């Protein structure tokens, strides 16, 4: 375990804060200093407000002195992906379209972190533009770099959230996951990343990409830290019509209460052609660990896996086309200075404001929703989506959770994959989870020979996050991967 404050876990830091061995201001100052020292190379932040963060930390110290601490997250600096609204702070989605936009309100998760948990909301984290990408090279401002190798990508779209945590620029972060955008960068940067069940966490204040797939979730150093952040932001929200009404358990205490052995499924379709041998070997070793612990390991089949990519890129682009229609250069966002009339404003503002990948997805989505093609593409994709979900639910009649690789390949070089399809294939193991609305997480499970992190994906049953976290923690406690840090 690193002695540096910025590399310690929430649980360790919370204990020091509670024992008055550390103040929230000292912790926040350490994180700010670390960010200033390394972020010019990592490029994880779009912006940050030192004065605001220190004011939040001072308020936390005052609460604690008065015996009114709000729990283990009180005074802990947590970074937010720049698609999650923070009142009075920039909200850019890493796009020229929103380059000068400042959010007038807090997202529900932001409000919960600040008002209920007492966390220090720290900075706006870089991402693929409008959360569309798998490498974080689609940011309109600059690409994020992987702290383990600055010539490589951190994954996407929440690359800034994963890289900031791995580099010690935050104690935990939030990202969004539409097709793997939390789990894949978590795997590539060697952190824990959790995508919850659809509806468990409010999407109010999250810039929409694909509304039926988007989900906010935490990045953390440990499974226990992820449980703490999840507990703070989960729960029903009347401001989100897709928010699910269900009690939120104490995920941290459930970790200790839930014991194996479990029945774990290995989907044969996830260990086929295209899987990097080193990743395959690391995941197989993790499976062998669970077997040694007395877990029943069973091969299962998800026969519609081969249709996931096609289905995802029809549904996601269709919803993106609809959601991004609001950026018209009239009400807010970028407005072209060369436009001559209303139609011209709309056309030129969007042409100038959106990047190539966002335009590509809008065009694809508009096509599949267009007259004559809606039934052939969008409607059919929704039917296949139902089949994909049924595959998972059928497998859960026999097993408690599934074990798979998170990413088929380790972090690749910046600029190495210029073909959009090659990038889309990076999400092959993660997109099915979003289509089915299931919880899943990535935990570190080793390194390649060249020192790049490898992630193990665990896929759980709907609203069974507590079980999923317990399964993940049993592996984490027996290994030291999560205590390894890049040397920046």
Give the pLDDT of residue 1: 42
Q: How many residues does the chain have?
A: 488
Q: Give residue-wise pLDDT tens across range 366-413.
A: 999 998 899 999 999 999 999 999 999 999 999 999 999 999 999 999
Q: Which residues pair with 266 in a beta bridge?
A: 299
Residue that the structure tokens 């029809």 belong to: 314
Burial of 90 (0-12, 13-18, 19+ CB in 10 A): middle
Asked whether 169 and 45 are in contact (CB, 8 A), the reply is yes
- From the number of C-beta atoms within 10 Å of its C-beta (0-12, 13-18, 19+), residue 482 rates as buried
120-149 burial by CB neighbour count: b if 16+ within 10 A, else e? bbbbbbbbbbbbbbbbbbbbbbebbbbbbb
Q: For residues 435 and 407, what is the distance between their CA atoms, to the nearest angstrom?
A: 17
Residue 2, pLDDT score: 53
Q: Is 88 left (phi over 0), alpha (psi -120 to 50) or beta?
A: left
- How far is the C-alpha of 354 from the C-alpha of 440, rounded, in Å? 31
Peptide bond into 149 cis (omega under 30): no
Answer for the pair 169, 6: CB distance below 8 angstroms, yes or no: yes
State the sign of the Cα–Cα–Cα–Cα dihedral 130, 311, 431, 447. negative
Name the phi and psi angles at 331, rounded to 5: -80, -45
Return the SS3 of 71.
coil
For residue 418, what pLDDT is reported?
A: 81
Q: What is the pLDDT of residue 314?
A: 97
Catalytically active residues are 81, 157, 181
* Residue 348 and residue 329 in contact, taking contact as beta carbons nearer than 8 Å: yes
181's tokens: 């955008």
Give the torsion through C-alpha atoms of 138, 329, 103, 194, to 10 deg. Answer: -30
CA torsion 457→202→146→488, rounded to 10°? -110
Extract the tokens encoding 231: 């507990």
CA distance 172 to 160: 12
Tokens of 250: 């104490």
Continuous segment of H or E residues that includes residue 18? helix 10-18
Question: Which residues of the chain are modeled with pLDDT < 70?
Answer: 1-2
């Amino acid at each position: 375990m690193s002695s540096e404050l910025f590399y310690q876990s929430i649980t360790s830091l919370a204990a020091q804060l509670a024992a008055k061995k550390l103040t929230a201001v000292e912790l926040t100052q350490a994180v700010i200093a670390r960010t200033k020292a390394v972020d010019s190379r990592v490029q994880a932040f779009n912006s940050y407000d030192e004065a605001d963060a220190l004011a939040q930390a001072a308020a936390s110290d005052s609460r604690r002195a008065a015996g009114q601490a709000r729990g283990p997250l009180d005074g802990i600096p947590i970074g937010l992906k720049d698609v999650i609204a923070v009142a009075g702070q920039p909200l850019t989605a890493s796009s020229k379209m929103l380059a000068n936009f400042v959010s007038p309100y807090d997202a529900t998760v932001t409000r919960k972190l600040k008002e209920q948990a007492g966390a220090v909301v720290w900075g706006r984290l870089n991402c693929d533009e409008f959360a569309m990408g798998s490498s974080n090279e689609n940011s309109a401002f600059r690409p994020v770099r992987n702290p383990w190798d600055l010539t490589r990508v951190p994954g996407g779209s929440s690359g800034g959230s994963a890289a900031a945590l791995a580099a010690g620029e935050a104690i935990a972060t939030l990202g969004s996951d539409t097709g793997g955008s939390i789990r894949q960068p978590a795997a590539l940067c060697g952190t824990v990343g959790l995508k919850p069940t659809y509806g468990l966490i409010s999407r109010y204040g999250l810039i929409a990409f694909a509304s039926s797939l988007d989900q906010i979730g935490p990045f953390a150093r440990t499974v226990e830290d992820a449980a703490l952040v999840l507990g703070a932001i989960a729960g029903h929200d009347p401001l989100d019509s897709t928010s699910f009404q269900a009690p939120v358990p104490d995920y941290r205490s459930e970790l200790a209460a839930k014991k194996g052995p479990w029945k774990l499924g290995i989907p044969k379709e996830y260990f086929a052609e295209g899987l990097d041998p080193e990743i395959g070997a690391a995941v197989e070793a993790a499976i062998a660990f669970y077997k040694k612990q007395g877990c029943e390991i069973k091969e299962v089949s998800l026969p519609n896996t081969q249709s996931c990519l096609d289905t995802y890129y029809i549904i996601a682009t269709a919803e993106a086309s609809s959601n991004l229609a609001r950026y018209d250069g009239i009400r807010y966002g970028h407005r072209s200075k060369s436009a001559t009339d209303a139609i011209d404003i709309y056309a030129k503002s969007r042409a100038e404001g959106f990047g190539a990948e966002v335009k590509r997805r809008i065009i694809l989505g508009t096509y599949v929703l267009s007259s004559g093609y809606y039934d052939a593409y969008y409607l059919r994709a929704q039917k296949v989506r139902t089949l994909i979900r049924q595959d998972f639910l059928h497998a859960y009649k026999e097993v408690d959770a599934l074990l798979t690789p998170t990413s088929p390949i380790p972090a690749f070089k910046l600029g190495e994959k210029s073909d959009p399809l090659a990038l889309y294939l990076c999400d092959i193991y993660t997109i099915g989870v979003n289509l089915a609305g299931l919880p899943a997480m990535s935990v570190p499970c080793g390194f390649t020979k060249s020192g790049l992190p490898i992630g193990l994906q665990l896929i759980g049953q709907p609203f069974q996050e507590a079980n999923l976290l317990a399964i993940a923690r049993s592996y984490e406690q027996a290994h030291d991967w999560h205590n390894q840090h890049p040397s920046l």
